Amino acid sequence: MSLLLKRTLPMAMTSLIAISLILNFFLDLGPMGDAWEGALLSWCVVIVTAAMGLGLFNLVKLHMVTISKREAGKWPFSLILLASMLLMILTRVFFTPGSDAYDIVFDYTYHPIRSTVGQLFIVWLVAPFTRAIRVKRGIPDLGGVLLIGAFALVIIGNSPLASYWVGFEHIASWLLTVNNLATKRAIAITVGLGLLAMGARIISGREKTYLREEFQ
Amino acid sequence: MSSVKFIRKHKSSLIMLSLYLFWAIPSLMPFTPPIPIKEKARRLYNLMEDLPEDSVILYIYNTYPGLEPTCKGATTAFLNHAFSKGAKIIAVAFHVLGPVMYERHSPGLWDDYEYGVDYVWLPYIAGRETGMASLLSSFRATTTTDFFGTSLDSIPLLENIDSAADIDLVAGLESDLSFGIGWIRQIYTTHGVEIAMIGGWAAMEPYYPDQISAMLFPLPGAAAEYEALLNAPGDASKQLAILYVGALFYAVFILIGGNTVNILYQIFKKEKT
């Protein structure tokens, strides 16, 4: 019974639902097929929303336990997390945008922190390029030179600096739309084929990693 | 300590300091660099100019406040252009922080138009790609109320709008690389609706211009070009001076710092040893 409920039934449901959606997409099963597809999509949205609520509940529970046990080196941070979360929720519930409390919490605290982290991430991405070149026996590595040379040209070609010479824009465009695009298309096609194969494996019941380990 | 030793010891701090000094230049000495208008901005502009009056645009806010410096100018320019062409806008978010951006973009954008008649804000729809598929199949089956909790049936703009069949263009911001391709699957492939990406990712380039009709990229440079086409300089144009010195810094830093100095230093070091 346990095996039927925890392995056979979920696998059968997965296959049947996937096959019904594929049939409706390609063969158009009429109003009944559309209603079935619509219902499934709505259920999915409801389940994901409920899962977010469950996640919030789990987060609060986990940190409450840490605080109540006074876990060394952890509980003050848990306290800060819960207090911050409560402050954000209450501010949004009781104050509207434009009010002083809302501006202090969101505009002057949260948004600058998110923006700073976002922009520092870009600097962090650029930094490794400056170390891309290695010199062996006095000869610089050609791959590294090409990599950072192309990087600099794309930056210049997509910035206002390109207005000084039209060639910058053409070179950047050629690098992006010929060299870079060919690679990206190859990756996109490969990922697409991989997804197709994974879908076929799930529908046929060969892929079971979504089940608990003991039922796979 | 010799100057060479000092530089070697504090090289990371010196690089960051010089970056901040570069960025300080436009603030201390404001200037407007030239704006070369490129193909992507012109294509989006032409798409919007050719859009019939009273078109309905679904504008997706899949972004978060961290990206505001790059996306605000683009959103404001694009949506103000859409409103000026008589388009009706339905804003929606499949990113949990998207609705925060509605409010942040209100001054200079939404506040100038009438809610429920010119535009509507839908709430956050969970489920990412599935949420998008659900909304485009039926608005009312996905959410019964708007962002403020008002019933969709009592909003004049949504009187005859319920699915992708009633939408003329889907536009918006996407901050998630993996979900961006979901736009192609759920909007263009399934419903055949035109897509205009505001910002987006370089990773969307393989789908441009066949599945994506227009793409304003990269930001904020492309947004400044769009503002120039509209003859209405805004947030993006103001950022252009910073972009100008920033690009100059990165280019100089990579070419001089990354190439020449590194090569000369390592050759010199090799000869010395």
Q: For residue A213, is it within any domain?
A: no
Is the pLDDT at A99 greater than 80? The verdict is yes
Q: Please check whether residues A58 and A84 belong to one and the same domain.
A: yes
Distance CA B254, CA B161 (A): 52
Q: Please check whether residues A137 and A191 belong to one and the same domain.
A: yes
Q: Which CATH superfamily is domain B39-238 in?
A: NAD(P)-binding Rossmann-like Domain (3.40.50.720)
pLDDT for A165 equals 83
Residues 118-177 of B with CB under 8 A from A: 125-127, 130-131, 133-134, 137-138, 141-142
CB contact under 8 A, A42 and B247: no
DSSP bridge pairs for B151? B145
Q: Is A106 exposed, middle or buried (0-12, 13-18, 19+ CB in 10 A)?
A: buried
Q: DSSP string spanning B129-181?
A: HHHHHHHHH-HHHH-SB-TTS-BGGG-GGGTT--SGGG-SEEEEEE--HHHHH
- Give the mutation candidate from A130, A145, A171, A196 for the B interface (greatest B CB count, under 10 A): A130
C-alpha dist (Å) from residue A57 to A45, A62, A82, A93, B123: 19, 9, 12, 18, 22
**Interior CA angle at B222 toward B219 and B228, to 5°?**
135
B192: confidence class by pLDDT, cuts 50, 70, 90: very high
Q: For residue A214, is it within any domain?
A: no
From A41, A129, A161, residue closest to B248, measured CB to CB: A161
Q: What would the mean pLDDT of A6-24 be, rounded to a whole number?
A: 89
Which among B92, B23, B48, B5 is positioned nearest to B214, based on CA atoms? B48
3 state SS of B196: strand
pLDDT tens sequence across B58-106: 999 988 877 777 788 889 999 999 999 999 999 999 998 888 888 888 8
B269: confidence class by pLDDT, cuts 50, 70, 90: low
Residues 167-226 of B with CB under 8 A from A: 181, 190, 202-203, 205-206, 218, 221
Higher pLDDT, B88 or B108: B88
Q: Please check whether residues A100 and A153 belong to one and the same domain.
A: no
Q: Please check whether residues A145 and A117 belong to one and the same domain.
A: no
Phi and psi for A23 in degrees, rounded to 5? -60, -40
Domain coordinates in residue numbering, chain B: 39-238
Q: Are B47 and B196 contacting, i.e. CB atoms less than 8 angstroms apart?
A: yes
DSSP bridge pairs for B173? B61
Q: Is B131 exposed, middle or buried (0-12, 13-18, 19+ CB in 10 A)?
A: buried
C-alpha dist (Å) from residue A185 to A176, A193, A216, B182, B206: 12, 12, 35, 16, 6
From B67, B240, B247, residue closest to A156, measured CB to CB: B247
CB contact under 8 A, B142 and A106: no
Name the domain count of chain A.
3
ipTM: 0.73
From A49, A152, A184, residue closest to B251, measured CB to CB: A152
Distance CA B60, CA B179 (A): 12
Q: DSSP string spanning B15-37?
A: HHHHHHHHHHHHHHS--------
From A114, A159, A176, residue closest to B221, measured CB to CB: A159
Q: Please check whether residues A104 and A149 belong to one and the same domain.
A: no
Distance CA A52, CA B42 (A): 41
Cα A45 from chain centroid (whole Å): 18
pLDDT for B200 equals 66
Q: Please check whether residues A44 and A124 belong to one and the same domain.
A: no
pLDDT for B261 equals 59
DSSP designation for B127: S
Q: What domain range is A124 assigned to?
A: 96-128
CB contact under 8 A, B65 and A110: yes
Is the pLDDT at A70 greater than 60? The verdict is yes
Distance CA B8, CA A65 (A): 48
Q: Please check whether residues A145 and A204 belong to one and the same domain.
A: yes
CB contact under 8 A, B202 and A180: yes
Strands B169-174 and B56-62: parallel
Distance CA A139, CA B267 (A): 8
Q: For residue A172, is it within any domain?
A: yes
Q: For residue A215, is it within any domain?
A: no
Q: Please check whether residues A118 and A141 belong to one and the same domain.
A: no
If phi > 0 it is left, if psi is from -120 to 50 it is alpha, else beta; for residue A139 that is beta
Is the pLDDT at A24 greater than 60? The verdict is yes
Q: What would the mean pLDDT of B139-161 be, rounded to a whole number?
A: 93
